[in-house]
Amino acid sequence: MRTQPVARTTQAQKQTAKPSSDITKKVWIKASSSVVYSALTDAKELVHWFCDRVSFDPREGGELAASWKTGEKGRAIVTRIVPGSVLELRWIDDGKGLQDNNSTHTTGYEIRQKSGMTELVMIDRDASTSDAEAVAVLDQGWNSVLIDLRDYCERRQRSAKGRSHSKDPLPE
């Protein structure tokens, strides 16, 4: 998985700068953009790579409610959705307890079809997370989640191609 390049900082800047809570990841997926979009927005697919239980209403203002075997739960509101290309969520409960309507924790996905593959850009922003160690844990967690998403989408793509070939008539 490749991540976006980060601007270089001097040692003095590192010592005085507040840690960034923005996590940006880019992953290339050997699957169509429609397969990737469906994996991000279909509750039946989210349980294959993101969480253990989920309900999701993928429309602006719709809610995602997810839970994991660890007992963690999360709730988010869809703030922007462009079918096939964009999904943005604002977390109203990201496992730290219910937050007010001014929550600053958001996760956004941009889907781009390029060179027969899909480029997915994920940006997770949380102004309330300033601890460098917590940001590092979240960063590693996103690596794992996006690898699971990539693997799931690529399996789905291969499976769909296999089914379409089996429906082809036999050559005469």
| pLDDT given at position 73 | 93
Fold of 20-164: Alpha-D-Glucose-1,6-Bisphosphate; Chain A, domain 4 (3.30.530)
Domain boundaries, the chain: 20-164
Question: Could you tell me which residue, 165 or 106, shows the higher pLDDT?
Answer: 106
Per-residue pLDDT of 68-108, as tens digits, reads 999 999 999 999 999 999 999 999 987 665 555 666 789 99
Model-level pTM?
Answer: 0.78
The tokens describing 60, both together, are 């602006």
| Per-residue model confidence (pLDDT) at position 6 | 40
- Residue 102 is predicted with a pLDDT of 63
